[in-house]
Structure 1
Amino acid sequence: MAKRHGLKQLTLVDRLTAWAGEVREQAATMAPGPEQDALLKKIAQADQATELYNWINSPERQPPK
């Protein structure tokens, strides 16, 4: 059996959150325009995906009645 070399696997949510943070910093340094708008749209999509994932996996979520 192969060893994993102590690397920790990150979840999709962790990777999305880290990516969104990096891109937010990048967008903050950009001049307003279409490139910044495109980055901000991608950040919003990543945030929505994270919120949806957290909602789906929340213990408080109830099945439809």
Structure 2
Amino acid sequence: MGSRRRFKQSSPLGERLAEEAKSLRELAKTLPPGAQREALLRKARQDEVGAHITEWLTSPGLQPPK
């Protein structure tokens, strides 16, 4: 069996997703209306949802009782 390379992420997943969503929206603003622009906006929305889900899953309210 091969071993998987593991590395420490420099920032939390939710933060990275939010940053990517922001970048995608900025890029989409530079494009004319069309399929490519819609694809970027759709990916940005997916990243935003992922960021919100990650935030929700790591919230203190979902932690097991201590």
Percent of residue pairs identical = 36
Q: Unpaired segments of 5 or more residues in structure 1?
A: 1-7
Q: Unpaired segments of 5 or more residues in structure 2?
A: 1-8
Distance (Å, rounded) in 1 between the aligned partners of 2:13 and 2:27? 21
RMSD (Å) for aligned C-alpha atoms: 2.0
Normalising by structure 2, what TM-score? 0.72
| Aligned equivalent of 1:4 | none
Q: CA deviation at 1:61?
A: 3.7
Secondary structure in 2 matching 1:30: coil
1:54 aligns with 2:55: yes
| Aligned equivalent of 1:26 | 27
1:35 aligns with 2:36: yes
Residue-pair matches, total:
56
Q: Which runs of 4+ in 1 moved over 2 A?
A: 60-63
Distance (Å, rounded) in 1 between the aligned partners of 2:22 and 2:28? 10
Secondary structure in 1 matching 2:19: helix
Higher mean alpha-carbon deviation, 46-55 vs 11-20, is at 11-20
Distance (Å, rounded) in 1 between the aligned partners of 2:63 and 2:14? 22
